[in-house]
């Protein structure tokens, strides 16, 4: 058996060796015991204080330290362990409940007591559930808000604080060198052997599709290994978000559809609870199922493009770029139990289906109908997942129209059958939506998939929004003064007065305090919370035994308020429906600015981190999360820590995942600028040659949908509540990555096309 040198084996061996050695070369877990946040504290109640240090991964429990506080004792010097690294931001939780804390002499010191950085009282800024800050001689008195459970301060620092570890890069290289050498030598030796091993190293053309498929599977397994380090950020008691989806899924598993009717039953589409219940029955952990669904969507996109992109390597590169999309493992969005987690997969599946139908339009119909069914299943799933699904219309509409026009122009003998097949996704979408609405009508007496899409509820809230307040307050169109006028003209709304003007209204005002910046006692509720407060008030008043009863009340409320407005009994604008506050001319510039900020988030991959957040909530609710998700929960602040060995391995994997994620913001803006240039060049050439390339339509449609979503978020951000956040943009990141690819293909397509002769 002879061994032969093969140049390709060197590259393959280096790649395998780097992968094997990377855990050993990864930065170690932040070491404790080198540096401390030292501060003098006293409190009037028992509780816990905690310091968070952002090392570039956002605030998380792994990079935090806590100390107990005892009530009514003299000020005590507390030392909080700080992790090593470059600290970019600091957050200080003075206590974990309502109370008054006094602090003084805050500084960072090393183990010998040398001062690294000192802080004065002006650097402590209120961030959440802080009622007041009162500077006193040499100290700062902090009073947290009534009922506070997570008050904290932002500690302003003018420059990052370097807290270096004793383990530098040279030590990491030495630690990784043995693993690198062993794997490299073994792989290089095997790659030089004769058959059957030689086939792996030589990459013969006949074997490339199989090798690429194997590489794709390996990438998926590698990603699953990395993301399995991300524990679930459970938020117990989140009755309008995370826990509500699990509660609805639990009802589905019990055979009770979405459970007894209340203000939460039909507040959101049922797709995500259906997904949770389905994967639970399959015995698959929820987060594993979400990553597998997304990996399948990436594979479908690559497969759909095969007739248009012959190069296996190009399509594999696209698959890899889509697979490691940072939004799919973002520690703020991707580790929570939220419906946004399945949106990237559903969006890519819809796009893949339409791409495949166009690319295979001349093939036998039997090869087209699976793609039509795929699109027809993904469309209602997407529509039932969130309420603002209209943003995908520019992309889906253009892709559908392009396929329909192409089929019509080719005059195939079975053209009508092919066009009918193109209608199938729309029929399946209508059937899926109607089925869910029919089931809701059977159980709750209201034919809708979500009450935020139901006409009576939209009309009622729109009627409240049309009333013109005497004084404009940001984000609060339905002010307390407006409510007082409404009580006088609407008997239905007057029934809710004890709720809005009592402790419940004050509670909602406290929740929205971070937006309104007004005392809770004024009971000014931002509109983003007014819609939930209204639903809660209606059910509390006794109008929500069934969906039909609740909708009848909303219809009556809309009639009374609209009639009073139309008769001039109350100052108001034109009739309206829905939940967006009235748009004013002076808000145009802020909307454009918010749109730009939203687009920048997508284009730059900013604000994404692989580090999960801590779980919060009572133990029984956290156990509920662990039960239905079949996953590991991120420890709560007062819960048991992850065992040391698991914590070390998690840190290694999260570090690798973070390094991959940081490549996107480094490359993304440059690649985005180049892709936009390619799109503009392709568009100019298309005008000159009077031919519209298909991939130019695809790219324009995807960019149009991204822009539409940014505009929707901008309108909400300016009129209702701050909404420019990656959580609302999850479905657009995959489209952006695909746009970076298709825009260049569009330019190549038009360059390869022969220009048409000029007209006589």
Q: Give per-residue pLDDT as tens, 177-209.
A: 776 777 667 766 665 554 443 443 444 444 577
Dist. CA 354–CA 371, nearest whole Å: 8
Residue recorded with tokens 């929205």: 512
Q: How far is CA 550 from the centre of its chain?
A: 31
Helix (H, G, I), strand (E, B) or coil at 410: helix
DSSP-assigned states of every residue in 264-331: TTTSS-SHHHHHHHHHHHHT--HHHHHHHHHHHHHHHHHHHTTTT---HHHHHHHHHHHHT-GGGG-T
Task: Show the 3-state SS of 12-80.
Answer: HHHHHHHHHHHHHHCCCCCCCCCEEEEEEEEECCCEEEEEEEECCCCCCHHHEEEEEECECCCCEEEEE
Q: pLDDT tens digit string along 427-455?
A: 999 999 999 999 999 999 999 999 999 99
Total residue count of the chain as it appears in this document: 760
- What's the DSSP call for residue 366? G
Residue recorded with tokens 């030598």: 185
Dist. CA 717–CA 739, nearest whole Å: 26
Dist. CA 346–CA 358, nearest whole Å: 19
Of the candidates 534, 535, 500, 531, the residue with the CA atom closest to the CA atom of residue 265: 535
Q: How far is CA 666 from the centre of its chain?
A: 20
Q: Is residue 124 classed exposed, middle or buried when 0-12, 13-18 and 19+ CB atoms within 10 A define those classes? A: buried
Task: Show the 3-state SS of 203-217.
Answer: CCHHHHHHHHHHHHH
- pLDDT score at 18: 66
Dist. CA 737–CA 705, nearest whole Å: 13
Of the candidates 357, 346, 190, 323, the residue with the CA atom closest to the CA atom of residue 271: 346
- pLDDT score at 558: 96
Tell me what the pLDDT averaged over the chain comes to: 86
Residue 474, token pair as written in the block: 């940001």
**HSE (CB half, 13 Å, CA atoms) of 82?**
32
**HSE (CB half, 13 Å, CA atoms) of 298?**
26
DSSP-assigned states of every residue in 687-753: HHHT---HHHHHHHHHHHHHHHHHHHHHHHHHHTS---SGGGGHHHHHHHHHHHHHHHHHHHHHHHS
Dist. CA 518–CA 140, nearest whole Å: 22
Count other C-beta atoms under 10 Å from residue 292's C-beta. 15
- pLDDT score at 721: 83
| Angle of the 480-489 helix axis to the 547-566 helix axis, nearest 10 | 90
Q: How far is CA 39 from the centre of its chain?
A: 36
Cβ–Cβ under 8 Å, residues 69 and 43: yes
Of the candidates 388, 486, 369, 478, the residue with the CA atom closest to the CA atom of residue 427: 369
Helix (H, G, I), strand (E, B) or coil at 571: coil
Within 8 A by CB and 6+ apart from 422, the residues are: 357, 372, 400, 403, 404, 407
Of the candidates 54, 58, 66, the residue with the CA atom closest to the CA atom of residue 160: 54
Element (H, E) at 152: strand 152-155
Dist. CA 703–CA 693, nearest whole Å: 16
Q: Is residue 536 classed exposed, middle or buried when 0-12, 13-18 and 19+ CB atoms within 10 A define those classes? A: buried
Residue 364, token pair as written in the block: 């036998």
Asked if the bond preceding 101 is cis, omega within 30° of 0, the reply is: no
Residue 89, token pair as written in the block: 């931001």
Residue 15, token pair as written in the block: 């790649």
Dist. CA 368–CA 357, nearest whole Å: 6
The dihedral through the CA atoms of 163, 166, 167, 168 has a sign that is: positive
Give the domains, in start order, of the chain with CATH numbers: 1-28+179-201 (no CATH), 35-163 (2.60.60), 242-437+601-752 (no CATH), 467-575 (no CATH)
Write out residues in the chain with pLDDT < 70, as ranges: 1-33, 56-58, 61-62, 112, 165-176, 179, 183-184, 187-207, 637-639, 753-760
Q: How far is CA 9 from the centre of its chain?
A: 40
Count other C-beta atoms under 10 Å from residue 457's C-beta. 31
R_g of the chain, CA atoms, integer Å = 29
Q: pLDDT tens digit string along 638-664?
A: 667 778 888 888 888 988 898 898 889
Dist. CA 596–CA 601, nearest whole Å: 9
Within 8 A by CB and 6+ apart from 24, the residues are: 172, 175, 176, 179
**In the beta sheet, which residues pair with residue 561?**
none
Q: pLDDT tens digit string along 56-82?
A: 666 776 678 888 787 877 788 888 888
- pLDDT score at 30: 44
Longest dimension (CA), the chain: 98
Residue recorded with tokens 């909400």: 716
- pLDDT score at 613: 79
- pLDDT score at 569: 93
Count other C-beta atoms under 10 Å from residue 417's C-beta. 13
Element (H, E) at 104: strand 100-110
């Amino acid at each position: 058996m002879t061994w032969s040198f093969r140049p390709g084996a060197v590259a393959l061996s280096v790649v395998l060796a780097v992968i094997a050695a990377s855990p050993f070369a990864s930065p170690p877990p932040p070491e404790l015991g080198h540096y401390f946040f030292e501060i003098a504290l006293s409190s009037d109640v028992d509780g816990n204080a905690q310091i968070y240090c952002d090392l570039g991964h956002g605030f998380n429990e792994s990079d935090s330290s806590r100390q107990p506080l005892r009530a009514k004792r003299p000020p005590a010097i507390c030392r909080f362990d700080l992790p090593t690294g470059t600290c970019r931001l600091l957050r200080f939780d003075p206590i974990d409940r309502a109370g008054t804390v006094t602090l003084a002499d805050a500084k960072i010191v090393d183990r010998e007591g040398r001062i690294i950085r000192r802080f004065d009282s002006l650097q402590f800024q209120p961030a959440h559930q802080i009622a007041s800050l009162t500077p006193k001689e040499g100290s700062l008195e902090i009073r947290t808000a009534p009922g506070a459970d997570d008050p904290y301060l932002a500690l302003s620092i003018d420059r990052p604080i370097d807290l270096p570890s004793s383990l530098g890069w040279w030590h990491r290289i030495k630690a990784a060198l043995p693993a690198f050498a062993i794997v490299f030598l073994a792989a290089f030796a095997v790659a030089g052997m004769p058959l059957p091993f030689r086939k792996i190293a030589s990459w013969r053309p006949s074997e490339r599709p199989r090798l690429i498929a194997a590489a794709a599977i390996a990438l998926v397994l590698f990603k699953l290994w990395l993301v399995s380090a991300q524990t679930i950020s459970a938020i117990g008691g989140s009755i309008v978000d995370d826990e509500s989806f699990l509660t609805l899924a639990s009802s589905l598993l019990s055979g009770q559809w979405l459970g007894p009717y209340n203000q939460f039953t039909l507040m959101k589409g049922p797709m995500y609870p259906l997904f949770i219940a389905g994967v639970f029955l399959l015995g698959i952990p929820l987060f594993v199922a979400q990553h597998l669904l997304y990996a399948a969507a990436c594979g479908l996109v690559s497969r759909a493009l095969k007739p248009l992109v012959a190069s296996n390597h190009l399509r594999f590169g696209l698959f890899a770029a889509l697979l490691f999309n940072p939004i799919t493992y973002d520690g703020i969005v991707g580790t929570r139990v939220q419906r946004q987690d399945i949106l990237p997969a559903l969006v890519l599946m819809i796009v893949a289906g339409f791409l495949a139908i166009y690319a295979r339009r001349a093939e036998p119909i039997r090869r087209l109908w699976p793609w039509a069914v795929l699109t027809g299943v993904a469309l209602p799933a997407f529509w039932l997942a969130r309420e603002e699904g209209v943003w995908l219309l520019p992309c889906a509409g253009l892709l559908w129209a392009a396929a329909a026009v192409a089929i019509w122009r080719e005059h195939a003998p079975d053209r009508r059958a092919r066009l009918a097949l193109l209608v199938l996704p729309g029929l399946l979408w209508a059937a899926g939506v109607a089925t869910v609405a029919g089931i809701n009508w059977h159980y709750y007496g209201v034919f809708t998939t979500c009450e935020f899409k139901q006409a009576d509820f939209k009309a009622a809230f729109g009627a409240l929004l049309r009333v013109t307040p005497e004084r404009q307050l940001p984000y609060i169109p339905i002010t307390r003064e407006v409510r007082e006028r409404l009580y006088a003209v609407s008997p239905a709304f007057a029934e809710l007065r004890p709720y809005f003007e009592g402790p419940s209204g004050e509670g909602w005002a406290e929740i929205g305090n971070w937006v309104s910046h007004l005392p809770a006692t004024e009971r000014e509720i931002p509109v983003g919370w007014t819609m939930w407060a209204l639903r809660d008030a209606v059910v509390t008043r006794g109008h929500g035994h069934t969906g039909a009863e609740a909708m009848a009340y909303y219809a009556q409320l809309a009639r009374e308020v609209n009639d009073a407005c139309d008769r001039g009994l109350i100052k108001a604008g034109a009739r309206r429906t829905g939940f967006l506050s009235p748009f004013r001319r002076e808000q145009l510039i802020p909307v454009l600015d918010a749109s730009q900020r939203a687009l920048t988030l997508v284009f730059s991959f900013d604000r994404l981190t692989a580090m999960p957040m801590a779980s919060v909530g009572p133990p029984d609710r956290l156990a509920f999360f662990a039960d239905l998700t079949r996953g590991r929960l991120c420890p709560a602040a007062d819960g048991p820590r992850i065992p040391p060995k698991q914590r070390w391995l998690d840190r290694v994997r999260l570090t690798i995942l973070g390094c991959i994620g940081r490549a996107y913001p480094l490359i993304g803006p440059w690649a985005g600028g180049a892709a936009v240039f390619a799109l503009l060049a392709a568009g100019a050439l298309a005008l000159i040659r009077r031919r519209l390339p298909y991939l130019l339509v695809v790219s324009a449609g995807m960019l149009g949908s991204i822009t539409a979503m940014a505009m929707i978020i901008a309108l909400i951000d300016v009129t209702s509540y701050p909404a420019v956040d990656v959580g609302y943009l999850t479905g657009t990141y995959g489209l952006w990555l695909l746009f970076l690819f298709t825009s260049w293909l569009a330019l190549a397509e038009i360059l390869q096309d022969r220009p048409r002769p000029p007209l006589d």
